[in-house]
Amino acid sequence: MADLTRLHAHEMSRLLRAGEISSRALIEAHLAAAERQNHALNAWLVIYRADALAGADVADRRLAEARRTGPAALAALHPLCGVPVGLKDLVSVKGGQATAGSKILAGYIAPFDSTVTARLRAAGAVILGKTNMDEFAMGSSTEHSAYGPTANPWDLTRVPGGSSGGSAAAVAAFHTPLAIGTDTGGSVRQPASMCGIVGLRPTYGRVSRFGIVAFASSLDQIGPFARDSRDAATLLHAVSGHDRRDATSAPIPVPPELLSLPATDDEAAAYLRGRRLALPTEYFVEGMEPGVAARVGEAVAAMEAAGAKVEEVSLPHTDYGLATYYIIAPAECSSNLARYDGVKYGFADRSSGEFIADYLRTRGAGFGPEVKRRIMLGTYALSAGYYDAYYLKAQKVRTLIKADFDAVWAAGFDAICAPTSPTVAFPLGARTEDPVAMYLSDACTLPANMAGLPGMSIPAGLSDGLPVGLQVIGAPWSELSMLRLARAYEAITARATWRAIEPADLHLTDDPTTPSPAERKTRRMQGASAKGSGGQA
């Protein structure tokens, strides 16, 4: 049989149910790849080998019992039974770490499972480990982790995107077919675009946030990574649903059709006929790379040729999305991160013996530069005399951004199509000294978060050998329609040559002498410094 790590999750599920492979063999293959290649990628912060193998054995027993019982028992099992999945390291797993990529949570052991974890366990999925991320999900490159940057398997000198870059890189590198990320301003869709995989941010409230380390509570949403739309739909089905422990969780039914996206390309492609797709002019932002614009244009043209109707629209308040986000998100983060004081859990510096001094030392040493920057911005925006001028005004603009989208849905459009990221993956270290340039990476994804809308990124080809993502934004609770549209696009491009291309630098990760992402970033920065001072790189 071909390499088990190259199978899609729905293929794994079929073979597991038929008894042609075991979950233990599947998990062992993925563990071996992750452990062998992680030195070059730093996608994983911890790998749960013993727990994963134990979980695989439990899944194999469940599958064997269902096969003995009969077809109805097999059909009752969730398709994820026995299938591996990775979790971003802000998802609580009882007895495991949840660092959120921060030194201030080093040593913290979660005393309970998040709702997402509990639902994955109930489905029979096998958790491989926890993936790297920007500290507290604040970043667009996964370079702001206290545990070092993650590399992109397409080019190890480049970022995977962020903040869920560890999850995206792990899926793109075939370490796991599925992973969980969180999307506050684009942190599922943007790394999915840069790593050439599928990433979906559901409607705000679709997936419970209980047990997830919070960044910005009105924006955060958990979402799946996968290598195709069918697998993304299956993972979304497993983790979605109302949760009374989360006040923001919506009592909206989970569509069972998420588990039955078309298997054949002809049936899938038929969904495009008659669909009205909006193409917002404001999303083709200044500075967008020509190759990105070209691939997105080709993707939209292909859907139009397959029967969709594409019309340009205007979302006039899009230009205010970046500024609005960077008032609201830091304000919420400054509130959420106030709990990290060195008293209750995680890292603590008690060297002075005085409470206030230790509190300041703990936060000063425990938080990284990007987190400190956003805490200061948010505290300023919420301070007396500035609340009305900044935070309140930003919330009003947020309402206008949502109204722009509402007008599109009222006009009868089925979805909005746009670029996911204005650029392909950029070099490690290229934007860490320029926060504004880093923030612009999310210019195309932020508006959907401000409006609480579902959005996803699907692979749309390559530009200069690096992945480009097509973003699909839907009306509230329209994840099923979005996934059907994505599946249709996969069908009409199934024979495209770029679909058969694996990440270009993946072979380098098998070499134990390959430098780590941190070493590569340091070398690049030193080279840039030498050039800037007139020396030789």
Dump the DSSP string for 299-315.
HHHHHHHTT-EEEEE--
- Name the 3-class secondary structure at 469: strand
209-228 b/e (C-beta count within 10 Å ≥ 16 → b): bbbbbbbbebbbbbbbbbbb
User: Do 448 and 487 contact (CB within 8 A), yes or no?
Assistant: no
What is the identity of the amino acid at 493? T
The letter for the amino acid at 162 is G
CA-to-CA distance for 149 and 169, rounded, in angstroms? Answer: 11
Spot the catalytic one: 187, 229, 421, 457: 187
Q: What pairs with residue 201 in β-bridges?
A: 455
Q: Do 342 and 366 form a contact (C-beta atoms < 8 A)?
A: yes
Catalytic residue among 23, 88, 457, 521: 88
- Which residue type sits at 137? A
Catalytic residue among 102, 163, 334, 457: 163
* Residue 217 near residue 182, CB atoms below 8 Å: no
145 is annotated as an active-site residue:
no
CA–CA distance, 53 with 416 (Å, rounded to integer): 42
Residue 117 burial (10 A CB sphere; 0-12, 13-18, 19+): buried
CA dihedral (34, 38, 43, 49) in degrees, to 10, reads 40
Does residue 402 carry a catalytic annotation?
A: no
| Residue 514: partners with Cβ closer than 8 Å, 6 or more residues away | 39, 40, 156, 508
Catalytic-residue membership of 88: yes
Residues with a catalytic annotation lie at 88, 163, 187
